[in-house]
Amino acid sequence: MQWHLKLILGATLGTLCSCASKTAVTETLKAKAAPLSSFTAHSQAMQPQRDRAPFALAWINPELPARRSHYASIYIAPVDVSHLRAAKPNLSRATTFESQDRPVQEMSRYMRQSFANAFRESPAPRLSVAASPEPGGVTLRLALVELNATDAVGNAVKTAVPYGGVLSPLTAGNIAIEGQVRDNVTGQVLFEFADNERDQMTLVSLRDFHPFNHAKASIRAWASQFEELTRTSSSHKVKDSPLFTLEPR
């Protein structure tokens, strides 16, 4: 069954790319960077660095390449939610079908645990996860700045009516984060990044019918990408998350 979905997906991508490269299409359809909050220390210097990092914006301390081999551990701090923006309206909230409180604390704990798991489950981690900041280590600080639910009710309505696909922009959720790596001894900022992910496009996915499963998938992808950055050379390109997914959950 899955190979049928892949054939359909390939045809869809081929249609999208008939007049432009896949890179151009990806840049057009991917979520744009969210506005930076005051959590970020180098907001004026943040810019895309796609040849290395998959995040929308990044900043690298010029001293980091020479110093990174000195670090052996990483402490992942509790996620900062003080910069979280108000929820945006979606189809269901606009039509009063759905009014859902956001599980902010649950999602922040999930984010912290996912980043820790990425290091613990890595085949060759450079950094070990520390229970507290240690000399010779770094601290990863994360901020959850946007969290907008997938409109599960709206997606159900969308699939039941003719031409419901035109409602997709009103039913998609998004999640945006900012991250910062600091030296545990000096407190110096070594690396900053920011990214924003919309719900991945799917053919059939249970994620479309759960308010935050798309957001959780984005968190897991970010965690894996960040861990890959910490253990690879500066010439290695960490790939971005795909626009489309065949994963059901």
CATH code of the domain covering residue 69: 3.40.50
**132 within a domain of the structure (yes/no):** yes
Helix, strand or coil for residue 174?
strand
Only one residue has tokens 């900041």, namely 133
Rounded Cα distance between 104 and 178, Å, is 15
Number of structural domains found in the chain: 2
Lowest-confidence segment of 31-35, 43-47, 123-127, 187-191 by average pLDDT = 31-35
What is the CA angle 40-216-225, rounded to 5?
Answer: 60
Say if residue 25 is in the same domain as residue 98. Answer: no
Please check the confidence at residue 117 and state whether its pLDDT lies above 60.
yes
Residue 110 has pLDDT above 80, yes or no: yes
Can you tell me the mean pLDDT for 41-61? Answer: 97
My answer on whether 20 and 37 are in the same domain is no
Domain assignment present for residue 196? The answer is yes
Report the alpha-carbon distance of residue 112 to residue 140 in Å, rounded.
10
Between 225 and 16, where is the model more confident?
Answer: 225
pLDDT at residue 31, rounded to an integer: 65
Give the residue from 174, 198, 182 showing the smallest Cα distance to 142. Answer: 182
Whether 70 and 121 map to the same domain: the answer is yes
What pLDDT does 99 receive? Answer: 47
- Domain limits at 60? 32-242
**The predicted structure's pLDDT at residue 208:** 53
Question: What's the pLDDT at 183?
Answer: 98
Question: What b/e readout covers 201-224, taking b as 16+ CB neighbours within 10 angstroms?
Answer: ebeebebbebbbbbbbbbbbbbbb
In a domain, 249, yes or no: no
Name, in order, each residue with C-beta under 8 angstroms of 151's C-beta and a sequence gap of 6 or more.
Answer: 90, 91, 92, 93, 98, 170, 171, 172, 173, 211
Q: What local confidence, expressed as pLDDT, does residue 29 receive?
A: 52
Confidence of residue 198 (pLDDT cuts 50, 70, 90): confident
Is there a contact between 214 and 150 (Cβ–Cβ < 8 Å)?
Answer: yes
CB 149, CB 100: distance < 8 Å: yes
Phi first, then psi, for residue 187 (nearest 5°) are 80, 5
Average pLDDT over residues 156-174: 49
Mean pLDDT on 59-80: 96
HSE-CB at 229 with a 13 A cutoff on CA atoms is: 24
Round to whole Å and give the CA distance between 75 and 234: 22
pLDDT band of residue 150 (cuts 50, 70, 90) is: confident
Q: What is the DSSP letter of 202?
A: E
